[in-house]
RNA sequence: GGCGGGUUGGCGGAGAGGUUACGCAGCGGAUUGCAAAUCCGUGAAGACCGGUUCGAUUCCGGUACCCGCCUCCA
């Protein structure tokens, strides 16, 4: 009862609600993970960072051993197939399956590296869809047996009309959507809204044997099967981008609730809003499409990217701009300079930050509270809080730590120059040296007490030659 | 066409029916040979039109504009 109550905005009820775990000893969280065909773009990173904050908060409040976090890898997908086929046509000697495996392995490695750089903790489980084909087939068979799905021309389809609450999550009705007439009309569908659980694969595509012939699963079934296997028929929180609300999450609910009517599937649905870039949607056609790796390669540290994400509440559209990244770096450097002092003090994360996050992950308020800590010069609490927020590890990140350099000799020389200048009234030599130091990325602090030289952001020891 | 989100001071971005958000930038001051850094102080807002209220930027309705989804993209 001492910990602050967590409140979350539940997309299912469209309200902010007190979070009550099903089992406080094992809080279960599921996030729809990436399709592993290419580097994660910046938008892919937003839900990961958002849920990482939630994961850290839950671990803090309920205990690190009491949270199970699952994030899947979708490694069966037509884009992956296309990429493997392209390599095959380019002359690769491996089999299609081998090429697919290579591609997904490689992409998962990239994904881990990129998300690690953003300070996101690894989930408890990271299931791959291809390791759960059996569970998916079993679930589909069950759905057919219960009358919620049917086989037609090698496909298995979910019978949307058999689930009365279909559309409840996203506030749509089947009839309205059909009236919108944007649904794919396929001859083998009983109803235009029915969606694919299983589809046939020809020889050029990866496939698994099934009661309906060689084929592969539809997209939605994997999350239903894996969440059931790893978290059970009922779990606490299901998260993802708002663009997944329909149809993906709606279909997950339909499948899971029909297959396991004894469970309620996810209690809380958490959806993050979309990311924009300089005020526009990120898209390849606009030329503003980039990956997390692109930013890291440009020298923008992962902590800076994370900080920019945290400035905006997850439920609002977030705009990525170069200016925000610049300001974030300035702020982080300032905080790090404070946090790295006196590494002796051990402390807990600031309670006001825990409270802020408990209020539907108010990360902007958490940052405001960090400013207060910095202002109050509460070194150990600031450090513990930054670590808690994933903005720093055990120590200050390398990019922000002061480069190793002994500038005491130069400081003495500058001090002497100034003393002389005070008498001669000719400050030109002092200013010249100061300018040179600044050009080398050295911060020059001159006070009555003396001269202090600090290697700064763009420090370049080579430029100090001759001083 | 249907469903959903947004619109806050120069910029970014929160909370709260009536009291300073916070950060960056600006301005004034302390300090400095001058700066930088630091510290102190300070101006500045709530897309538009109505309604509820003693009082709304905060609640309700409408308008405008922006964005997302409805086409297996987070």
| Mutual angle of helices A133-145 and A221-231, in 10-degree steps | 100
For residue A32, say whether it is annotated as part of any ligand binding site. Answer: yes
Residues A240 and A367 in one domain: no
The DSSP bridge partners found for residue A241 are A272
Answer yes or no: is A326 CB < 7 A from strand B.
Answer: no
Residues A231 and A289 in one domain: no
CATH of the domain at A112: 3.40.50.620
For residue A370, say whether it is annotated as part of any ligand binding site. Answer: no
Q: Considering the domain boundaries, does residue A2 fall inside one? A: no
Q: Report pLDDT for A323.
A: 85
The DSSP bridge partners found for residue A217 are A198
A341's enclosing H/E stretch is: none
Residues A264 and A286 in one domain: no
Which nucleotide, over all strands, has the C1' atom closest to the CA of A422?
A: B33
Last residue of one domain, picked from the residues A373, A400, A427: A400
A380's enclosing H/E stretch is: helix A379-388
Domain region containing A426:
408-464
Residues A61 and A169 in one domain: yes
Token digits of residue A148: 């919620």
* Å separating the CA of residue A449 from the C1' of nucleotide B31: 12
| Predicted confidence (pLDDT) per residue in A424-455, tens digit | 888 888 888 888 888 787 888 887 777 888 77
For chain A, helix, strand, coil in percent to 5 are: 45, 15, 35
Residues A115 and A239 in one domain: yes
Q: Considering the domain boundaries, does residue A1 fall inside one? A: no
Answer yes or no: is A102 CB < 7 A from strand B.
Answer: no
Residues A111 and A188 in one domain: yes
Residues A380 and A422 in one domain: no
Residues A144 and A39 in one domain: yes
Residues A389 and A430 in one domain: no
Nucleotides of B under 7 A from a protein CB: 1-7, 11-15, 21-24, 31-40, 67-74
- How many separate domains does chain A show? 3
Last residue of one domain, picked from the residues A361, A382, A400: A400
Residues A119 and A242 in one domain: yes
Q: Could you state, in chain order, the average pLDDT of each consecutive group of 10 residues for chain A (467 residues)?
A: 71 86 96 90 92 95 96 90 85 87 92 95 95 95 94 90 88 71 66 89 88 92 95 94 88 93 91 84 77 91 93 88 88 89 77 91 92 88 93 87 76 86 86 84 79 76 74
Residues A393 and A428 in one domain: no
Q: Considering the domain boundaries, does residue A454 fall inside one? A: yes
| DSSP one-letter string for A347-358 | -PPPHHHHHHHH
Nucleic chain B contacts, protein chain A, residues 7-26, CB cut-off 7 A? 14
Residues A25 and A134 in one domain: yes
Last residue of one domain, picked from the residues A272, A288, A310: A272
């Amino acid at each position: 009862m001492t910990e602050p109550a967590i409140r979350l905005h539940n997309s299912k009820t469209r309200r902010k609600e007190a979070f009550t775990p099903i089992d406080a000893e094992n809080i279960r969280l599921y996030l729809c993970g990436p399709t592993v065909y290419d580097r994660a773009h910046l938008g892919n990173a937003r839900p990961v960072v958002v849920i990482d904050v939630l994961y850290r908060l839950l671990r803090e409040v309920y205990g690190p051993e009491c949270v199970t976090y699952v994030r899947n890898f979708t490694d069966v997908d037509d884009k992956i197939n296309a990429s493997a086929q392209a390599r095959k046509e380019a002359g690769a000697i491996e089999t299609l399956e081998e090429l697919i495996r290579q591609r997904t392995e490689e992409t998962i490695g990239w994904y881990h590296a990129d998300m690690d750089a953003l300070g996101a903790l690894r989930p408890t489980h990271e299931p791959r869809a291809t390791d759960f084909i059996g569970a998916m087939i079993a679930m589909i068979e069950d759905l057919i047996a219960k009358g919620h799905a049917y086989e037609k021309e090698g496909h298995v389809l979910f019978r949307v009309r058999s689930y009365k609450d279909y559309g409840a999550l996203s506030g749509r009705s089947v009839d309205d959507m059909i009236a919108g007439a944007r649904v794919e009309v396929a001859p083998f569908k009983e109803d235009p809204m029915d969606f694919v659980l299983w589809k046939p694969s020809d020889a050029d595509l990866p496939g698994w044997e099934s009661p309906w012939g060689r084929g592969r699963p539809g997209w939605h079934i994997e999350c239903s099967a894996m969440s059931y296997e790893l978290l059970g028929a009922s779990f606490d929180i299901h998260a993802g981008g708002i663009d997944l609300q329909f149809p993906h999450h709606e279909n997950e609910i339909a499948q899971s609730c029909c297959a396991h009517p004894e469970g309620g599937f996810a209690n809380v649905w958490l959806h993050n809003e979309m990311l924009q870039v300089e005020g526009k949607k990120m898209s390849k056609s606009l030329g503003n499409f980039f990956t997390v790796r692109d930013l890291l390669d440009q020298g923008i540290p992962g902590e800076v990217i994370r900080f920019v994400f945290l400035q905006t509440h997850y439920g609002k559209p977030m705009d990525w701009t170069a200016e925000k990244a610049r300001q974030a770096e300035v702020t982080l450097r300032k905080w790090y300079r404070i946090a790295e002092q006196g590494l002796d003090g051990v402390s807990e994360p600031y309670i006001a930050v825990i409270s802020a996050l408990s209020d539907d992950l108010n990360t902007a308020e958490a940052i405001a509270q960090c400013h207060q800590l910095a202002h109050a010069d509460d070194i150990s609490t600031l450090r513990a809080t930054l670590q808690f927020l994933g903005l720093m590890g055990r120590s200050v990140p390398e990019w922000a730590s002061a480069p190793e350099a002994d500038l005491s000799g130069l400081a003495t020389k500058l001090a002497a120059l100034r003393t002389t200048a005070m008498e001669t009234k000719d400050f030109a030599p002092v200013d010249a040296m100061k300018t040179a130091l600044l050009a080398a990325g050295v911060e020059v602090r001159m006070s009555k007490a003396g001269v202090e030289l600090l290697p700064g952001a763009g420090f370049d020891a080579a430029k100090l030659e001759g001083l």
